[in-house]
A and B are shown apart, each in its own frame.
Chain A
Amino acid sequence: MGLITEIDYGTPHSTAENDVTLTIDGFSVTVPEGTSIMRAAMETGIKIPKLCATDMVDAFGSCRLCLVEIEGRNGTPSSCTTPVAPGIVVKTQTGRLKDIRRGVMELYISDHPLDCLTCAANGDCELQDMAGVVGLRDVRYGYDGDNHVHARHAGDGAENFRWMKKDESNPYFTYDPSKCIVCSRCVRACEEVQGTFALTIEGRGFESRVSAGMHQPFIESECVSCGACVQACPTATLREKSVIEIGQPEHSVVTTCAYCGVGCSFKAEMRGDELVRMMPYKDGKANRGHSCVKGRFAWGYATHKDRILNPMVRDKITDPWREVSWEEAFAHVAGEFRRIQYQYGKGAIGGITSSRCTNEETFLVQKLIRQGFGNNNVDTCARVCHSPTGYGLKTTFGTSAGTQDFDSVEHTDVALIIGANPTDGHPVFASRLKKRLREGARLIVIDPRRIDLVRQPHVEAAHHLPLRPGTNVAVLTALSHVIVTEGLFDEAFIRERCDWSEFEDYAAFAAEPQHSPEEVEKVSGVAADTIRAAARLYATGGNAAIYYGLGVTEHSQGSTTVMAIANLAMLTGNIGRPGVGVNPLRGQNNVQGACDMGSFPHELPGYRHMSDDATRDVFEAVWNVTLDPEPGLRIPNMLDAAVEGSFRGLYIQGEDILQSDPDTKHVAAGLAAMECVVVHDLFLNETANYAHVFLPGSTFLEKDGTFTNAERRINRVRKVMAPKNGLADWEVTQRLAQAMGLDWAYTHPAQVMDEIALTTPSFAGVNYDLLDREGSVQWPCNDKAPTGTPVMHIDGFVRGKGKFIRTEYVATDEKSGPRFPLLLTTGRILSQYNVGAQTRRTENVVWHSEDRLEIHPHDAEQRGLCDGDWVRIRSRAGETTLRAQITDRVAPGVVYTTFHHPDTQANVVTTEFSDWATNCPEYKVTAVQVSPSNGPSDWQVEYEEQARLARRIARPLEAAE
């Protein structure tokens, strides 16, 4: 095990198809046209000295170290900016080149501190390496001249106005201007890789300095702390604080981020079993070497003092917790679950799988429920996010998943973003999208709120449709109306791939006058012209891809909206090739995987309905049990049944339903009605306040397994340290299963994957050897696609013919009116993740320490509210308080908040309304009233007190002798 060092080719790879052959130092080299000489040399193993070049960004040609000589050409061109040409003869090492390089290094070092031994980059400094490479032995200029290195001049001790002190304002990295060589790599990484444009070079010549924003501390600038600049820096100028504190890592392991559904690959760089830093992995096919602030930096929760490391039990939720052994905990749960089943029936217990745990762990939890509990009462948090995606895409296309890989965006000409905020929710995808937009692709945004993508440096949406919350179906059907009535549909595609009579039916439906933009303007508030223009652009602008998020699904018509999206893609033939498609942006790291693994109560792994005899036969044979063909309870149904008394026990792995699910009071009532709630988590989360048993969980750093991201990519998760709680999560589930009498005997998650492959056709070819070999694969992965499927539905839809479905707009019953005149919608922010259990336990709180209510200046003025005032927000379900933020990002009549902090309790306000097909809650529309407030609501005060009491842990008293 060593440190994985990826080769830096100096400049990005060329995608040209034609090859060029040249000679470098006597060796013949063949590379794609457009490749730099530097990269061509590196591909043959010749490292040309360089400082300002790195293959994550375009060549810049400023450091003058990478010069070469080319026969027949004058001078010494820089190899990073000079492309290869057929037959040229390049020399990388001549007397003249050696002299020039040594001279360049001499100048660099004359203005650089010589504290190498105590420098944080010691052992990982390209400047140091280059000094060695060029044979620098002396600096003739001395070190006392004009410089940026010392606070005071050597001779007279006078202040050196060029010197700038270290900026330590960012919690995760430092900027030390005295070590900067102004290579611009950080500036270019910020522009080209991240797309934020927070950094610049200020001044000219010797005055040139890297500057965040307008010469501001990093934390006050537009910097989003993605760390691309730190990764790009060749010196100690930008450096992780963890490296400064710990030192250089000595080995690394490639693993997968446990935050959002982008599923970035990282090298976990370790010293012993201490994590030094997370470094994005360039071969990671989802992220291609980039990351966001969460994945790269926000892993401190893994060792946070709040982590619970011992199992705990209590009789009543009003009792303090009692720490027990694992054996006692398992025996207690098994005993209670069996008692409840005996007393109230087999269907009186169930479980919830976690979208944060691995595929293998999720598979085991649903297996425990189906095989051990003998029922299908299993659900997962996808219920509250992307269950409509499952239903909608399965109905129209035949399978429940995004159709593309993330690389596909590089071929997109028109991106249609609906109900998603990628720069905050899926930042690494957003960076890849922005790169394509800067290359000229056009953008349509459908969102009630002016998300950052609508307008930011070098990105501007062609059309923003700021629709009223709850009118997605009306607007999308209006887009279809324009496409159908103006004849912009792709007839050849539809005739070949879809059922023509179903299309005719749908086209007739879409063409009805009530679906015209002019009519829809009345309900949606979006100007008819804008709808028409957006429809024309989507239909005729080239490769058009739809990316959508929870603003689509979390509505009473969520499933209908997903079908409307599928209709649009089929109408315009935007399916089945790179650059197009329908792409749900999944919220959590493994929400796709949790759905794939049979976490829903109506289906077995691979999206096969419980009533399907052939599928049940497969599992019955392997599990040696008779499976119930009836669907089980979904999360909201479990809570309803609990209140009614027929559901009494629940095993929850890694989900905080009390905070994340709607109508908190109803969730609390359901949990309180149960007799044995088992929470398996890292922390005493909000749900644990109602739990009788707490089983400590392990982090993604502490176990082996796989996560499946939003592009169906199965990525390996690798253990880099022992579980602090003693058992990986899959082991906990296995021990619980054993305590309930099941004969499980897995010794490694690889065996669980083998069982998945054995029983699930779309995973038939997946095993850990393949994943180690390929890095990752996208399902379906089987005999037909041995290394997976980047783009789906290429020659036909999974279900055969694509199915057009009528999508009638039905207004939600959650309506604003005199009592509740505003519509509340919810979302997330870059630095925080979901309910915040992880990110709130990191330094990320510096960016977002509380949830705020965004309200339009007009609505604020009517209510006498000023920015920062405490406000009370009230719906028919409940009320809470938080502080107001006045902004015109939201339209008049709409308010918005995030839900990252439990003390805000945004879900006290959300209602019981849900998607008609899947019961996915309608988080995105709640009618509310907002008024000034003096402080926390009664509920918040009561809740905090209840939470405080519920979290007490009894410490055994020492026996007095």
Chain B
Amino acid sequence: MSPEHETRTGKDKLVYMANQIGRFFETMPPAEAAEGVAKHINDFWEPRMRRQFFEIVDAGGAGLSPLVAEAADKVRRPAQQTA
């Protein structure tokens, strides 16, 4: 029997990825840290991913690290639907 597939998907994976980014910037000076996380997400996350990110944030940000939660204000909200 093959083992059950135990990899992260969907919002779990997105939270994980956001926190990973957070972990890198945690060692930066506090002023730059949240800025760094937000800029990274703005630069590399496609609007669909940012939309999901805000769904998580708007629902209370469960699972997000404090730095990522702090950075959320600075992340650009994507247009409602890019078509």
Interface residues of chain A, those whose CB is within 8 Å of chain B, are: 345-347, 376-377, 505, 509, 556, 559-560, 601-602, 609, 611, 628, 630-634, 637, 640-641, 643-644, 646, 663, 665-666, 806, 808, 810, 874, 876-879, 911-912, 914, 916-919, 937-939
Closest B residue to A556 by CB, please name it: B20
Closest B residue to A600 by CB, please name it: B44
Question: 29 interchain pairs (CB within 8 A)?
Answer: A345-B81, A347-B47, A347-B83, A509-B27, A560-B24, A611-B43, A630-B46, A630-B47, A630-B78, A631-B43, A631-B44, A633-B48, A634-B46, A637-B46, A646-B48, A665-B5, A808-B24, A876-B7, A877-B7, A878-B2, A878-B5, A879-B3, A911-B7, A912-B13, A916-B24, A917-B24, A917-B40, A919-B17, A937-B2
Asked whether any CB of chain A lies closer than 8 Å to the CB of B74, the reply is: no
Asked whether any CB of chain A lies closer than 8 Å to the CB of B21, the reply is: yes
CB contact under 8 A between A916 and B20, given known A646-B48, A878-B5: yes
> Complex Cα distance A345/B83, Å?
5
A643 close to B82 (CB less than 8 A): no
Contacts of A914 in B (CB 8 A): 17
B9 close to A640 (CB less than 8 A): yes
> Complex Cα distance A509/B1, Å?
49
Q: Which of B3, B40, B45, B48 touches A347 (beta carbons < 8 Å)? A: B48
Could you say which of A556, A601, A916, A939 has the most chain B C-beta atoms within 10 Å of its C-beta?
A916
Q: Nearest chain B CB to A476's CB is how many angstroms away?
A: 15
Q: Mark B1-19, 1 if CB is under 8 A from A, else 0.
A: 1110111111001000100
Q: Nearest chain B CB to A39's CB is how many angstroms away?
A: 55
Q: Mark B33-64, 1 if CB is under 8 A from A, else 0.
A: 00000001011111111000000000000000
Q: Nearest chain A CB to B13's CB is how many angstroms away?
A: 7
B46 close to A644 (CB less than 8 A): no
Could you say which of B1, B20, B28, B78 has the most chain A C-beta atoms within 10 Å of its C-beta?
B20
B43 close to A810 (CB less than 8 A): no
Q: Nearest chain A CB to B44's CB is how many angstroms away?
A: 6
> Complex Cα distance A345/B78, Å?
15
Asked whether any CB of chain A lies closer than 8 Å to the CB of B26, the reply is: yes
Interface residues of chain B, those whose CB is within 8 Å of chain A, are: 1-3, 5-10, 13, 17, 20-21, 23-24, 26-29, 40, 42-49, 78, 81-83
Closest A residue to B7 by CB, please name it: A912
Q: Nearest chain A CB to B10's CB is how many angstroms away?
A: 7
Contacts of B13 in A (CB 8 A): 640, 912
> Complex Cα distance A556/B17, Å?
10
CB contact under 8 A between A806 and B27, given known A345-B82, A640-B13, A919-B17: yes
A630 close to B82 (CB less than 8 A): yes
Contacts of B26 in A (CB 8 A): 808
Q: Which of B21, B28, B45, B78 touches A806 (beta carbons < 8 Å)? A: B28
- Could you list 4 further interchain pairs (A-B, Cβ under 8 angstroms) beyond the known A347-B82, A640-B10, A641-B48? A376-B46, A377-B46, A808-B23, A917-B40
Q: Nearest chain B CB to A561's CB is how many angstroms away?
A: 12
Contacts of B81 in A (CB 8 A): 345
Contacts of A877 in B (CB 8 A): 5-7
Q: Nearest chain A CB to B49's CB is how many angstroms away?
A: 6
CB contact under 8 A between A631 and B8, given known A345-B83, A912-B13, A939-B2: no
B46 close to A633 (CB less than 8 A): yes
List 7 tightest A-B contacts by C-beta distance, closest first. A916-B20, A876-B6, A808-B27, A912-B7, A346-B83, A806-B27, A633-B46
Q: Nearest chain A CB to B36's CB is how many angstroms away?
A: 10
> Complex Cα distance A345/B21, Å?
29
B9 close to A643 (CB less than 8 A): yes
Closest B residue to A666 by CB, please name it: B7
Contacts of A916 in B (CB 8 A): 17, 20-21, 23-24
Q: Nearest chain B CB to A121's CB is how many angstroms away?
A: 57
Closest A residue to B4 by CB, please name it: A876
> Complex Cα distance A645/B26, Å?
34
A810 close to B24 (CB less than 8 A): yes
Contacts of B1 in A (CB 8 A): 938
CB contact under 8 A between A346 and B82, given known A877-B7, A878-B5: yes
Closest B residue to A929 by CB, please name it: B3
Closest A residue to B46 by CB, please name it: A633
Contacts of A912 in B (CB 8 A): 7-9, 13
Contacts of B3 in A (CB 8 A): 874, 876, 878-879
Contacts of A634 in B (CB 8 A): 44, 46
Closest B residue to A646 by CB, please name it: B48
A602 close to B7 (CB less than 8 A): no
Contacts of A559 in B (CB 8 A): 24
CB contact under 8 A between A637 and B23, given known A347-B82, A602-B44: no
B23 close to A810 (CB less than 8 A): yes
A632 close to B20 (CB less than 8 A): no
Contacts of A665 in B (CB 8 A): 5
Contacts of B78 in A (CB 8 A): 630
Closest A residue to B8 by CB, please name it: A912
Q: Which of A602, A632, A879, A938 touches B43 (beta carbons < 8 Å)? A: A602
> Complex Cα distance A918/B20, Å?
11
> Complex Cα distance A838/B22, Å?
41
> Complex Cα distance A671/B67, Å?
35
CB contact under 8 A between A917 and B2, given known A345-B83, A630-B78, A666-B7: no
Contacts of B43 in A (CB 8 A): 602, 609, 611, 631
> Complex Cα distance A633/B78, Å?
14
Contacts of A556 in B (CB 8 A): 20
Contacts of A560 in B (CB 8 A): 24
Q: Nearest chain A CB to B59's CB is how many angstroms away?
A: 17
Closest B residue to A876 by CB, please name it: B6
> Complex Cα distance A827/B29, Å?
37
B2 close to A632 (CB less than 8 A): no
